Amino acid sequence: MTSRSALILAIASLIGLITLVWPLLLNDPTSTRVQPPFVFLALLPVVVAVVLAELAQGGLDPRVLAILGVLTAIDAVLRGISAGTGGVELVFFLIILAGRVYGPAFGFVLGCTSLFVSALVTAGVGPWLPYQMLCSAWIGLGAGLLPRAHGRAEIALLAAYGVVVSYLYGLLLNLQGWPLLAGVAIPGHHEQLAFDPAASLGENLVVFVKYTLITSTTSYDTMRAITTAVAITLLGAAVLTPLRRAARRATVTGSVSGRATEAVDVPSVG
């Protein structure tokens, strides 16, 4: 990534984070319901599109774009097969491995495109899609920033990373939708689990943690973590090899071919 791309990426991530946590920053005792900031909701897809264009301009040559297209299509099929049923989710498996091989910028773009295309395939387009794209992009970005490791240590690192981000993904998406639910009641739990705009930040955080633990952490998020970790453990080494082989071919620069051409053009003597 260029420094400008990194700056735009940081700004986009900050805006995306604000669109997720904004209700927790409010404290309005006179309000009984929460209205989402439609300016932020409209701005987020535009910001994501600008980041994708900037990253593509900054270092994704035609061969890398071709790889991006192929991996996006494969990831869309993987998500269509798993469809998140019961938390079984295969979409992050390839995003993590590709981000590891091709770097944080590629991982960010693949996370966005994979969720977007798969949403079109599975009819999952809705107001939640920009948040899904951004959160999965962060997963690919983080995979490209992991420390160096080799062999079994690398697979163990990627599997552990997959477990962590699976829980974080569910946490962030819950944070996006939870404040908009009016009156959350879970069978067997008598306490109120809905967002209260009149409560303090600490009080709402406690309620949100309970809501997340009950509704997704012990079910969907755990199954997603198990699925991602098992897929990386069993197939990670086999998938990393062709990805790295393709990466070596895709990163050949023009200076190498230029020297080769120059050598061919040298006239013979005698």
**CB contact set of 165 (below 8 Å; sequence gap of 6+):** 92, 96, 138, 139, 142, 228
C-alpha to C-alpha distances, 117 to 98, 122, 254, nearest whole angstrom = 17, 9, 32
Q: Which regions in the chain score pLDDT beneath 70? A: 1-2, 23, 25-44, 46-48, 50-61, 82-87, 123, 181-191, 250-270
CA distance 117 to 125: 10
Torsion of CA 163, 65, 71, 79, to 10 degrees: 80
pLDDT of 37-90, one tens digit each? 555 566 667 666 766 666 666 556 677 778 888 888 888 888 877 665 556 778
What pLDDT score does 95 carry? 93
What pLDDT score does 159 carry? 94
Q: Where are the alpha helices (H) located in the chain, listed in sequence order?
A: 3-21, 38-59, 62-82, 91-102, 104-121, 129-144, 151-177, 201-212, 222-250, 254-264
What pLDDT score does 10 carry? 81
What pLDDT score does 230 carry? 93
Give the number of other Cβ atoms within 10 Å of residue 154's Cβ.
Answer: 18
What pLDDT score does 165 carry? 93
CA distance 105 to 102: 8
Question: If you write DSSP's letter for every residue of 151-164 in order, what string do you get?
Answer: HHHHHHHHHHHHHH
At 190, the amino acid letter reads: H
Torsion of CA 39, 45, 51, 56, to 10 degrees: -160
What pLDDT score does 187 carry? 58
The pTM for the full model equals 0.78
